[in-house]
Homo-oligomer: A and B are copies of this chain.
């Protein structure tokens, strides 16, 4: 049974996902599209050659009879509303991060989903599907490293636009690490601290960059993450797990080694979409197959909530300069 998907939000990531569902993945098709800009929705349909209906509102799309699952790739402020509507309509929903812009919004989604009685929501934390991170998790889960004592990580972007302000380093950038480490460690955060260095001359006036985020988990793993969004040289994701029995480094993306012009070099990617292209494929294919099987297994509303709670603590720590506690409620049995 092919999963019939409705897409809300036809911006860059919405179109990317629509293209992969149509051209690359199996067992799903785009049957409905919606965007605040209807022309953009029609244009995407044309570009991808879809046989899909355009809806004037996300709400209408969600309620369409032939929609089995909804992809929420609209502006972050609207995610909560669409996810809640999808839950109400009994649709599976894949929501790009953030699940909601506040922890309270995530809580409302969890409440609705628990009331619905079954998992309907998957959050777009694609790193859990990246081959390299899975090698790391596999070796950790196999016990090869012993207890994880520290993680050293970096999240670097070549540049960010003028509208990017300091808290976005948490909500838009670090959010992927906040989910990834919870998943790698199978643990929750206990505290957060942020230390700013001297600012790079390449950062515009509204963003303090780079910064070092320090996290502690409930079991005592210490994590440091360099967030550097104007590093100039490329999009570069680093992760090293220091364990009792050894240390593992996330692999670099595959590239040619060149010997040329006095250097032995490997290209560094510039674009996060390329970095996680395979992960996006695996993530969405998993969602489709889980929807077929009637049981979602990917990152849940709880995962979206946990990242939001940790993110709030990090933003508070950016402002206070202090160690801030991360206050996680108990995990509902529903999400175990």
Contacts and interface: CB of A to CB of B under 8 A. Distances in A.
A252 interface: yes
B254 A233 contact: no
A222 B263 CA distance: 24
8 contacts: A25-B26, A144-B260, A195-B216, A202-B244, A224-B224, A232-B244, A245-B260, A263-B267
B264 A268 contact: yes
Interface of A: 24-27, 131-132, 135-136, 139, 144, 146-147, 149-150, 152, 154, 195-202, 210, 212, 214, 216, 219-222, 224, 226, 228, 231-234, 236, 242, 244-268, 270
Contacts of A260: 144, 233, 245-247
A248 B228 CA distance: 15
A259 B233 contact: yes
Contacts of A200: 146-147, 149, 244
A261 B254 CA distance: 18
A135 B255 contact: yes
Contacts of A268: 259, 262-264
A250 B146 CA distance: 27
Contacts of A228: 149-150, 242
Contact of A226 (B147, B152, B236): B152
A96 to B, nearest CB: 23
Given A26-B25, A226-B152, A265-B263, A256 B195 contact: no
A149 B18 CA distance: 40
A220 to B, nearest CB: 3
Contacts of A251: 254-257
Nearest to A24: B26
A147 B210 CA distance: 12
Contacts of A152: 152, 154, 224, 226
Nearest to A255: B251
